[in-house]
Amino acid sequence: MARRYHHGDLRQAVLTAAVEVLGESGPAAVNLRDLARRVGVSHAAPAHHFGDRTGLLTAVAAQGFDLLADTLAEMSPSSDLLEAGVAYVSFAVAHRAHFEVMFRADLLRGDDPDLRAARQRSGQALDWAIAGFRDGSVDPVVAGAAAWSLVHGFATLWLQRALPADLGDDVRAAARAVAELLVRGANPPAG
């Protein structure tokens, strides 16, 4: 006998289950049939909302970019590039499952309108922080790429436990210490 769906929002229930699977086992383990079983619906129900596995992972990535934008929007207007970088790393650690698919072009539909809108929203949230970092002598595109590379690389290395143990267990403190090198290097204290 088929089970009846009792959740209020099937789409969100499947997304939540997908995030759990991503957190437990990574992107390779995401399977629509398994997710349907987890949320107690027919195997065709998730396909109705997402089409296929790529559609589902694209929706997870879009949700991740929206969460990142929300995280950055919660920052104080007086926050600077350093604090935005620390917030980015904190987001990656707190939302590891999302972070692991957000930048995986091989898993996503890059032309998906929801994904594009969420990426743009999170990008705009980062632009204000990078704007304060620019001093006119650095190409803004290069400045943005440098800042993003630093915090994204740090977050990835932290999640893979590839950084020296001497950095400690506090990801925010470690990220702040590393990011300060970039900020101080570009804007040394007046003396």
CATH topology of domain 52-186: Tetracycline Repressor; domain 2 (1.10.357)
Burial per residue of 72-103, b for 16 or more beta-carbon CB atoms within 10 angstroms, e otherwise: beebeeebebbbbbbbbbebbeebbbbbbbbe
Comparing 107-111, 139-143, 144-148, 160-164, which segment has the lowest mean pLDDT? 139-143
Domain ranges of the chain: 52-186
**pTM higher than 0.75 for the full model?**
yes
Phi, psi of 38 (to 5 degrees): -60, -40
Q: At what angle do helices 113-133 and 81-94 cross, to 10 degrees?
A: 140
Per-residue pLDDT of 57-114, as tens digits, reads 999 999 999 999 999 888 876 677 888 899 999 999 999 999 999 999 999 999 999 9
